[in-house]
């Protein structure tokens, strides 16, 4: 019997993500987008359509899944958030993936790590409807290796 390693990696990612976030009752939205296995090109935007059903205080976080192939301690992300009425907000987020000694932060094993990065200030989701979030990497290199997925998490503010 032959086992397809690529499919088992995807199954592992889904299971790990479910396990990691399943106990969080304040989580109101969670979606991940895969990055090309070879490299994440700067022009390859990751788009998320976030349905907002009622106006309430929400906390926006981005999650990053990386492998040992990633060569940096951090990852800069450029964010563009468009409201249902077309208003555009832009922001930059510095995601720390490793400590000063080179040890990966977050949860993980077998060379795959998951970190979550809260936006440093609140974003007001003050309109009901579909919000579009576009994420690109902001690193100096055009193509970066070792980033597997980028995710968006919304939690109810307490």
Share of the chain above pLDDT 90, in %: 68
Mean of the per-residue pLDDT values of the chain? 87
Domain boundaries, the chain: 26-156
pTM here? 0.80
User: Which tens digits make up the pLDDT trace of 53-79?
Assistant: 988 888 999 999 999 999 999 999 999
Backbone angles phi, psi at 38, to 5 degrees: -75, -45
φ, ψ (nearest 5 deg) of residue 84: -60, -30
d(CA 85, CA 129): 9
Question: Distance (Å, rounded) from C-alpha 70 to C-alpha 91?
Answer: 23
In the block, tokens 């999650």 appear at: 63
Q: Which CATH superfamily is domain 26-156 in?
A: Galactose-binding domain-like (2.60.120.260)
One digit per residue, pLDDT tens: the chain, 158 residues?
445 555 555 555 555 555 444 455 678 899 999 999 889 999 999 999 999 998 888 899 999 999 999 999 999 999 999 999 999 999 999 999 999 999 999 999 889 999 999 998 878 889 999 999 999 999 999 999 999 999 999 998 87
Pairing of strands 129-137, 46-52: antiparallel
Share of the chain above pLDDT 70, in %: 84
């Amino acid at each position: 019997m032959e086992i397809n390693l690529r499919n088992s990696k995807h199954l592992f990612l889904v299971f790990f993500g479910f396990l990691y976030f399943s106990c969080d009752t304040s989580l109101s939205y969670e979606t991940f987008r895969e990055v090309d296995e070879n490299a994440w090109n700067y022009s390859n935007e990751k788009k998320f359509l976030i349905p907002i059903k009622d106006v309430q205080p929400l906390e926006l976080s981005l999650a990053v899944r990386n492998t040992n192939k990633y060569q940096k301690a951090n990852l800069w992300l450029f964010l563009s958030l468009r409201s249902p009425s077309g208003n555009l907000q832009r922001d930059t987020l510095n995601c720390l993936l490793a400590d000063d000694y080179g040890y990966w932060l977050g949860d993980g094993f077998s060379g795959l790590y998951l970190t979550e990065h809260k936006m440093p200030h609140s974003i007001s989701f003050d309109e009901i409807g579909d919000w579009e979030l576009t994420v690109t990497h902001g690193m100096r290199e055009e193509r970066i290796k070792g980033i597997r997925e980028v995710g968006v998490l919304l939690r109810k503010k307490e």
